[in-house]
Amino acid sequence: MNSDFVYKGLWWFPDKPSEKFSGDLEIDSKGNLILTLLDEATARQTLEKKTTKGDPIPLIVGYCKNKVTKSDLAFSLFNCSIISYNVSGLAEFSLKAEYATTFKNYKDIDSLKIASAFLEVQMLNEWTDISGISNAKDKAFRKLKISVGYDQPKPITLLKNKDFHMYIWFYATYSQRKNTFNIIENARINIEFKKQKSFQEFEKYLELIKNFLSFCISVPVSCKKIEFRELSTLSAKRKNLNHQNTYELIISESKTYTGIKSIDRKHMLLEYKRIANNESFYITKWIDLNDRLEPVFKLYFDTLYNPGLYRENAFLNNVAALEIYHRINNPEFDGKDIRYYTKLDKIASQISNSNEKQWLLARMEKRKEASLFNRILNIVERTPTISKRFIKDFGEFATIVSNTRHYLTHFDHKNKQKGVATGEDLIKLISKTRVLIQIQILMDLGFTETETNALVTKAISNWHVWTK
C-alpha cells in the first residue's frame, strides 16, 4: 500500500452489521493503520463495551473512499486497539489495527487464507542487479538515434519443494509525458503454496524472507507491498477460473526499516551473485538455521530492526545471541581444560568418606556450564584469520565483553572495577559482537573463512569495526 493514504467511509462490527459509523482510516508512510472515529454515540457505546477488558477488537470492517483519488475500497481491520480517547466538546476515538486486507470483508482472521503471495521488497532490484533494458545506438542521416527495448528476464527460482515454490519475478512499467518516456524495472518475490496457508502460517514465511534479504543487503528492508490470492493455480484451473481476485495485505509494523533509497551492491553483506545458480541450497540452509537458531535470529533481528535501542540493550542482545549460539552448537563444551580435571581428581582422592566424595563429584558435574568468557573466546578462536583483523587480543576482548555483560545484568560494582565498556568503547563492542554473529551465520550457511572474511569486510554497516 502506498504511503500517506486517507480513506473516509462507513465502518461496522461483523456481529452488528446494522450499526454503521463513519470514520477516517489513515495509512501512513510506515504502514501504520489508524482509524479515527469522531463523535459517534453508537460507536462510542459499542467500543466502550468491547474494550472494557482491555483486549483488542478482533475485526472491524468498512467500505471507504480515498479522499484524493475518490476510488472505493473495502477494508477488514484486524486486532484493533484504542491508542487515544479524547473528549473536549466532541468525543474522538483512535484505534490502531495490527493488519488489514483490502477489496474484501472477512468474517474473522481464521477465514483469511493465502494460496499465493506477491512481495515487493525494498532494494530487491539492487540486490539481484539483473536488467532487461537494452540500448541500441546508430548514426542515421548523421543524427544520433536511441532505441530502448525491454526483454523480460526469466524468473529465478529461489526454492521449490513439496510445500511451496518461491521465485523472483521481473517486470517493467512505463509512463509517457510529452517528450518524456520512462521505463521502470521492478522485481518481486512470488511464493506459491501447494495448500492454502492461514495468516499466522504466512507470517512465518514473510519473516523468513524479510530477514534473509535484510541480512544479505546489510540494512533492514521492508515489504513495500504484499498482495495475495486465495486459490492456488491448480485449484483455480479445477474450478475453471480464468481470473482470480488479488487482495492487498497491510501490516502495521513496530519495526524500523531503512530510509536509504538505494545501496551500492559492493557494500552488501551477501549480494545475489554470491548465491546465484545455487539459490535453493542457501535458502534451504537459511530455513534450517532459522529453525535451529531461532532465539539467536530473534535477538539479532530485533536489534537490526530497532536502531533506536539503548546502546546497553543492543550490546546485551548481541552477547545473548552469541552465548545462545555457542550453547546450541556446542552442547558438551564446558571450557575447562585437563588441568581443571586433574586438580579435581586430586582433591576428590583426598576425601576418605565415599558418600562425601560422591556428593562432591555430583555437585561438580552440575557445574559444567561454561562461562561467558570461555564461550566468547571459543567463538573468536573459531575464525582466527578474520578475528585478528578487528580484535587485537582475544583474551582481553572476551574479558571486557563478559565484564560489561555481568555489570549490566547484575549491576555488580565489582565487575565495574574490573573494567567495563562505556561510551565509544561500548559502541565498538556492539559493532564487533554484531560482526561475530554475522560471521557465525555465514560460516553455517556454507561459506569458508576466506569467503566470509571478504563478505563481512565490505559491508558498509561493518565499517566502524575496521576503522576504529
- CA 360, CA 314: separation in Å to the nearest integer? 40
CA-based radius of gyration for the chain: 28
Could you tell me the three cell numbers for 309? 535501542
Counting every residue, how long is the chain? 468
Spacing of C-alpha 383 from chain mean position: 27
Query: What per-residue confidence (pLDDT) applies to 361?
Result: 64
Closest by CA position to 112, among listed 251, 304, 214: 251
pTM of the predicted model as reported, rounded to 2 decimal places: 0.85
What are the DSSP calls for 322-372, one per residue?
Answer: HHHHHHHH-TT-----HHHHHHHHHHHHT---HHHHHHHHHHHHTT-PPPH
pLDDT digits (tens, 9 = 90+) for 376-413: 999 999 999 999 999 999 999 999 999 999 999 887 77
**What Cα–Cα distance (Å) separates residue 63 from each residue in 23, 83, 148?**
10, 22, 43
Q: DSSP letter at 267?
A: G
**How open is the CA angle 419-433-293, to the nearest 5 degrees?**
130
pLDDT of residue 140: 46
How far CA 427 is from CA of 208, 316, 456, in Å, comes to 28, 12, 18
Q: How far apart are CA 432 and CA 438, in angstroms?
A: 10
For residue 155, give the 3-state DSSP assignment. Answer: coil
pLDDT of 2: 43
Q: Taken in order 97, 101, 106, 110, is the CA torsion positive or negative?
A: negative
Give the side-chain half-sphere CA count within 13 A for 330.
19
What share of residues in the chain are helix, strand, coil (percent, to 5)?
40, 30, 30
Digits of tens for pLDDT over the chain (468 positions)?
444 588 999 998 888 888 888 889 998 777 789 998 876 666 667 777 776 677 888 899 999 888 777 788 899 999 998 887 776 656 677 889 998 999 888 877 888 899 999 999 999 999 999 988 775 544 443 454 556 677 889 999 999 999 999 999 999 887 777 667 778 889 999 999 999 999 999 999 999 999 999 999 999 999 989 999 998 887 888 888 878 889 999 988 888 888 888 888 888 999 999 999 999 999 999 999 999 999 999 999 999 999 889 999 999 999 999 999 999 998 877 656 566 556 666 776 777 777 776 776 666 665 556 889 999 999 999 999 999 999 999 999 999 999 999 999 887 777 677 788 899 999 999 999 999 999 999 999 999 999 999 999 988 788 778 764
Say how far apart CA 114 and CA 197 lie, in whole Å: 5
Q: Phi and psi of 353, rounded to 5°?
A: -75, 120
The confidence score (pLDDT) of residue 297 equals 97
Helices assigned H by DSSP within 156-310: 199-217, 233-238, 279-292, 294-304
Q: Which helix (H) or strand (E) holds 71?
A: none
Tell me the one-letter amino acid at 431: S
**DSSP assignment, residue 308?**
T
Q: Rounded to whole angstroms, how far apart are CA atoms 371 and 80? A: 45
What domains can be seen in the chain, in order of their start residue? Answer: 5-107 (2.30.110), 112-276 (no CATH), 294-335+370-467 (no CATH)
Residue 441 falls in which region: left (phi positive, over 0), alpha (psi -120 to 50) or beta: alpha
Which residue is it, cell 474494550? 51
Q: What integer pLDDT is reported at residue 283 of this predicted model?
A: 96
How does strand 156-160 pair with strand 180-198? Answer: unpaired
pLDDT tens, residue by residue, 97-151: 998 999 888 877 888 899 999 999 999 999 999 988 775 544 443 454 556 677 8
